[in-house]
Structure 1
Amino acid sequence: MPTTHNFPQNIILEDDFVLLRPLQESDVENLLEISINEPETWEYSLVRANGKENLENYIQIALKAKENKTEITFIVYDRKSGKYAGSTRFYDIQLPFKTLQLGYTWYGKDFRGTGLNKHCKFLLLQFAFETLGMERVEFRADNNNQRSISAMKSIGCKIEGVLRNHMPTLGSELRRDSIILSILRNEWFDEVKDHLKAKL
């Protein structure tokens, strides 16, 4: 089991459809088109990457968290189109407790509904449970974000409940309710892995 001393670095996850590699400072250029042209991508996000300045800030926050050994952020490359599609990450990584959260996932509109997300989630979950030895992978979303909730349920996540009035929302006095979903280690091996693999 990894400790914080051998925190996983420079992970590359890939299959025939998608490649996930660590996000780098230079990836501003690879994600800038989505950042500038598709601001609605971050409608429910707590940290936005719309516009070059916000994207640069987004990447700096991710790199700092990697240094602190609490997050691993990936850029997602779509092999079918030969283009960068977006980003996703492991965060709140608690190696001693064998838990982490999977989120901060966003893709440009051309990559939604293409099956890309299922390929990414399969690779990420397989790594979390089978390489890192996690017991639990948690997912969170704004309780109003039906697209995200549907995507999580479709890969096998179970709803645990809602944290009411949980987080501030950007640009508003309102606070969001956060829905909590998860996959447990035994669920991954018993059903979720095969179920998700069949959808790829």
Structure 2
Amino acid sequence: MKSRVLNFKKYRKVKFDSYQTIPVPYPPLSKIYLCYVQILKAARLPSFLDTKTNLAYPTTATNNQLFFLDNFLLLYAIQIQNLPISGCYILQNDIDLTRLEYQLSTRLFTLITELKFNIKQINPNNVLNAFNTSLSKHAIYDLNSTHTDKPRSEFSLDLLSKLIGCSRNQLLYQQKKINDAYSIKVQQLKQKCVALQHPQPSAELFWSAQHGN
């Protein structure tokens, strides 16, 4: 599709169905969106969704791509089902990334307390790694301050269990099952590939190894 320059005043507020667009997170916020994905794929989505969102106003529009600035719950939901979207464009020069990172992080924390989860669909280590490397440190600190007298800017397993509404031991057991399943797969691969049995596998070993069926 040919790129075209948009008229900001004309397109400041827009309404459309999600199937007409390619919705994606605003690139600087994409890692925060992946934190939402980690959580939402294990949750039961609410039956009612707020369909309003802010969008980054592009200088050109190609292939109907939309950059979401907030409401990442809606962004996740429209990957699964078609929904109407009521958007408001914001000029990129007016975007306050630090504020958005904080707001999206705190909104995710609130969302976790509102949703029901299937613990078997959660990978605790992946969630903690994503949160601690991608979410607002300020937001994590503020959240910790409501649960402990010695807050820190790190998301812990204890804090995750409190938000989800399960015990720490449940998450530890879930992680153990994930680790055990991974170990079994590795052992199965080693039985089929002699190269993997070597202390330091190399490309040469793989080329010369005898592989099982």
Normalising by structure 1, report the TM-score. Answer: 0.30
Structure (1/2) with the larger strand percentage = 1
Structure (1/2) with the larger helix percentage = 2
Q: Who wins on radius of gyration, i.e. which is larger? A: 2
More relative contact order, 1 or 2 (CA 8 Å, 6+ apart): 2
Normalising by structure 2, report the TM-score. Answer: 0.28
